[in-house]
Structure 1
Amino acid sequence: MKIGKVPTEVLREVVFKNIKHKRPEVLVRPGIGEDCAVVDFEENVCVMSTDPITGAVKDIGSLSIHISCNDVASNGVEPIGVMMTILAPVGTTKEDLDYVMKEANKAAASINVEIIGGHSEITDAVNRMVISTTAIGRQRKKDMVTSKGAKVGDAVIMTKHGGLEGAAIIAHDLEKVLKDKVTEETIKSAKAFGEEISVVKEGVLAGKIGVHGMHDVTEGGILGALWELAEASNLGIEVYEDKIPIRPETLEICKALSINPLRLISSGVMVMAVPQEKKNSLMEILETVGIKATEIGKITENEKIIVKGNSIQILEAPETDELYKVI
């Protein structure tokens, strides 16, 4: 298999197929496009998600906090705590670990989350640091939002701009490569995209307004996330490619490296299936807190398609993220 997330068909045939034992307390189980597990605690539910950071070097401590908290936020929940596992390669110094933990603590404080435990070790099983985090949130059962709740006719809204995490990672980790290909201002600006990685604010606001489904955009980019949003609900989607916002810096970096920004990892972006009667209210509220939101499609009954000008093409399932072609 290629580098990146395990392909969808392998998840179905090998991973999910072998998860056979069930408990009645589990309300949401593993599924394509499903961000979180949800466990019943009577009037409340516990919402949990876990994710590793493997594709970045710079700011790995900060990214590790935001990536799993973003998943919990896609259920409309404010994350409370994070469990953090650090696997560091031989040669890692005390100062290296200190830097990572300071960055993680700074990120956690920015979204009011506590690092509540975990594990750390030096091991020759990795050749660079790998951090896996599990975020935990609490929600009233009646307010549950999942990735699979989209309904036919829903507007599809995305926040911020596609490829923002990938552009930030590339600007940090491949700065020497980019210097001969793009301007210094482009690199500097793309690095700052890392400050937009959290989707906790928009996830919690959307949960309060009442959306049908949400999914944060990670590996596979905006097109991958849109496919997963529809697939989770066993529905179709019509995506208007020309309406997907991509910053000029991201376009410039992707053109220089011959990669597709629409398939580039995009933590910091949330896609939402929103009832038509609520979309304007949601977009207005997000704008008041400084979050750009754009309507980029609609949920349909069957086909997953991309509309660009007068052409229509099939929206394919996500494969290896574009980031792995250059990192």
Structure 2
Amino acid sequence: MAAFDDQYGKVDAQVFKEDLLNKCGAKRPEVICGPRFGVDTAIIELGNGKALATSSDPLSLIPSLGMEISAHLSVHLLANDMSTTGFAPQFAQFVLNLPVSLTREDFNLYWSHIDALCKKLGISITGGHTGQIPGQESTISGGGTMFLQAPKDKILSSNNAAIGDSIIMTKHAALSSSSLLANAFPETVSQKCGEEIQKIAAHNFWDLSVMKEALAASSILEPNQELHAMHDVTEGGILGALDEMADASGCGFTVELDKIKLNEEVKQITDLFEIDPFISIGAGSMLMAVKPGHEDRLIKGLSKEGVEACKIGVFKEGSAKQVVDANGKQRSFTFDGVDPYWAAFFKAFQAGWQ
């Protein structure tokens, strides 16, 4: 019997609060921001006006997608979390629990791509652990942790969205889920949606990093004054990420669904796999909480950097979360923590989709 009701993906907020939150070891005064659901990084006081930010995430190793894509996912999803601080990661440690079926050749290819990506991003790999585990056939090959140090008063945290802040999103919804499905089932997607749609969606995979817009945003606006918080979209998609960000910040939100950008290839693929693009894995998009009056400057500044961005809603007082559809009808939003991507992936795999 599974430990958790939802057997796919990360645990939900209830499990986090009931089983984890009050069992986090010793309390230390240096911890400025510790474990919180929906918060991307921990922040630790270093003294002399400096702080350490750190974040951990699973590592991916998906043989059907290849070693390069697996390494790309592993490094960039970690770096995305770190970039929500407004700074780039500087150091990394990786723990690899590899399947015994992985060849030395494939391991060297996988690690070479991780090494190359870290060099490109300016990240020093400072240690970790590497081994093979009998019976380990998961596509999660271990875990990684990244670190950075920066001026304490400039580091952003995703739990600092303020009431009245505008919600800005970059790029479009379900970027990674649609791309992963296009890469995992290329023949079926090509047959059902057309070769062009498959190619565009598959290529979107290489746009999963949000570091560019995160660093740009923190230079366009004043961190913690005009730009209050950022949160990268992962499991749960745009609305799931907003749900986390609002809960962590102690507020609610109103979002207009027709303002959330949804590209044609994403729409077709999410329709094919019968998943809701607004709550499906959306790595590659960043959410930003921006003080009113500074939205246009940010959007225009990001555009100059080649990053598309738009306002999709507002953080509100209280805990109510509302979404407004294209017809102007407003309804309450509740998220059960279940991302439909996982069930759709395994359903397609078991059905023999290629």
Per the TM superposition, whether the score is higher than 0.5 is: yes
* Secondary structure of 1:273's aligned partner: strand
- Output the CA distance in 1 between the equivalents of 2:254 and 2:17: 24
Paired position in structure 2 for 1:317: 335
1:64 equivalent in alignment to 2:82: no
Q: TM-score, with normalisation over the residues of structure 2?
A: 0.88
Deviates more, 1:34-43 or 1:11-20: 11-20
AA aligned to 1:237 is F
Paired position in structure 2 for 1:172: 183
Task: Report Cα offsets for 1:287-311 as digits up to 9, x if no partner.
Answer: 1110101100001002111111221
Paired residues of 1:223 and 1:318 also in contact (CA < 8 A): no
Paired position in structure 2 for 1:159: 170
Matches of residues 43-58 of structure 1 in structure 2 within 5 Å?
A: 43-53=49-59, 57=63, 58=65
Displacement, 1:20? 5.1
- Output the CA distance in 1 between the equivalents of 2:37 and 2:342: 21
* Secondary structure of 1:205's aligned partner: helix
- Output the CA distance in 2 between the equivalents of 1:320 and 1:116: 35
1:18 equivalent in alignment to 2:23: yes
* Secondary structure of 2:294's aligned partner: helix
AA aligned to 1:45 is A
1:141 equivalent in alignment to 2:152: yes
AA aligned to 1:63 is L
Paired residues of 2:60 and 2:74 also in contact (CA < 8 A): no
AA aligned to 1:192 is H
1:116 equivalent in alignment to 2:126: yes
AA aligned to 1:47 is A
Paired position in structure 2 for 1:286: 302
Paired position in structure 2 for 1:306: 323
Displacement, 1:28? 0.5
- How many equivalent pairs are there? 327
AA aligned to 1:8 is A
Percent identity, please. 30
- Output the CA distance in 2 between the equivalents of 1:87 and 1:206: 36
Paired residues of 1:228 and 1:317 also in contact (CA < 8 A): no
1:206 equivalent in alignment to 2:217: yes
Displacement, 1:125? 4.2
Is the alpha carbon distance of 1:318 and 1:51 closer, same or farther for their aligned partners in structure 2, counting shifts above 3 Å? farther
1:277 equivalent in alignment to 2:279: no
- Output the CA distance in 1 between the equivalents of 2:305 and 2:190: 34
Is the alpha carbon distance of 1:318 and 1:193 closer, same or farther for their aligned partners in structure 2, counting shifts above 3 Å? farther
* Secondary structure of 2:250's aligned partner: coil
Q: TM-score, with normalisation over the residues of structure 1?
A: 0.95
Task: Report Cα offsets for 1:241-286 as digits up to 9, x if no partner.
Answer: 0000011111111111111111111111110100112211111111
Displacement, 1:56? 5.0
- Output the CA distance in 1 between the equivalents of 2:237 and 2:61: 14
Displacement, 1:318? 4.8
AA aligned to 1:78 is A
Paired position in structure 2 for 1:190: 201
**What runs of 5+ residues in structure 2 fail to find an aligned partner?**
346-354
AA aligned to 2:90 is I
Displacement, 1:84? 1.5
Displacement, 1:17? 2.2
Which residue of 74, 83, 105 maps to 1:95?
A: 105
Paired position in structure 1 for 2:348: none
* Secondary structure of 2:193's aligned partner: coil
Paired position in structure 1 for 2:92: 82
Is the alpha carbon distance of 1:56 and 1:265 closer, same or farther for their aligned partners in structure 2, counting shifts above 3 Å? farther
Displacement, 1:212? 0.7
Paired residues of 1:55 and 1:323 also in contact (CA < 8 A): no
- Output the CA distance in 2 between the equivalents of 1:257 and 1:40: 45
- Output the CA distance in 2 between the equivalents of 1:315 and 1:83: 38
Displacement, 1:55? 8.6
- Output the CA distance in 2 between the equivalents of 1:56 and 1:301: 42
- Output the CA distance in 1 between the equivalents of 2:161 and 2:331: 22
* Secondary structure of 1:18's aligned partner: coil
C-alpha RMSD of matched pairs (Å): 1.6
Displacement, 1:164? 0.7
Paired residues of 2:164 and 2:314 also in contact (CA < 8 A): yes
Paired residues of 1:55 and 1:324 also in contact (CA < 8 A): no
Off by >3 Å, runs of 4+ in structure 1: 53-57
